[in-house]
Amino acid sequence: MRKLSHAIEGLIRNVGYQPEHEGKSSLKGHPDANGYDRSEQMRTTILRNVQTQAGEAVTVMTKSHFLFLFRLPATSVMPLRATELRRRGVQFRWTTSDPEVLESLHNLVIEALGQVTLDELRGIADLGKRLLALGAPFIPKDAPLPDCLKQISDFVRRVV
């Protein structure tokens, strides 16, 4: 576990991670061919370790970066054990790239983890994925789920 966290810290250091203040950060120092640093516009990362309703420690990370011409904003909810990531992790891909909206979506996901466990969130995400495939909203407004999950529903493009 410690080796993994040290490896992640080393990777973050290698890409120029500069914390602005607790819970927020951005990747800086990547000038383009003209010497202009567009990283502030292109990449944003918010990282937070939280505990679920059941007391399980998880990491919530919201990123927004470019892949060629496409902006890819997403929030990942990851268990601390890397072996459980595929089975229990959740990634929400958003329809917006606005930094303030992404930060509020990040906070809503954290708030949801105070009301549901990681396994319950994974189950809700799987159900929402099926609803999205049918053209329905991620979470219907009348669903018996926490309001914080209903508030993110309008911004979910895809769930992984």
- DSSP, collapsed to helix, strand or coil, labels residue 70 as strand
Q: How far apart are CA 110 and CA 107, in angstroms?
A: 5
Query: Which burial class, exposed, middle or buried, applies to 100 when counting CB atoms under 10 A from its CB (0-12, 13-18, 19+)?
Result: exposed
Of residues 6 and 119, more confidence is placed in: 119
Q: How far apart are CA 157 and CA 95, in angstroms?
A: 5
| Structural domain total, the chain | 1
How many CB atoms lie under 10 A from the CB of residue 31? 10
Residue 82 DSSP code: G
Of residues 133 and 40, more confidence is placed in: 133
Q: How far apart are CA 14 and CA 125, in angstroms?
A: 33
User: What is the pTM assigned to this prediction?
Assistant: 0.70
Dihedral of CA atoms 9, 15, 21, 23 in degrees, nearest 10, equals -60
Q: What is the pLDDT of residues 34-48, one digit of tens each?
A: 444 444 444 578 889
Arithmetic mean of pLDDT, 100-107:
93
In terms of residue numbers, what domain contains 122? 2-159
What is the percent of the chain where pLDDT is above 70? 72
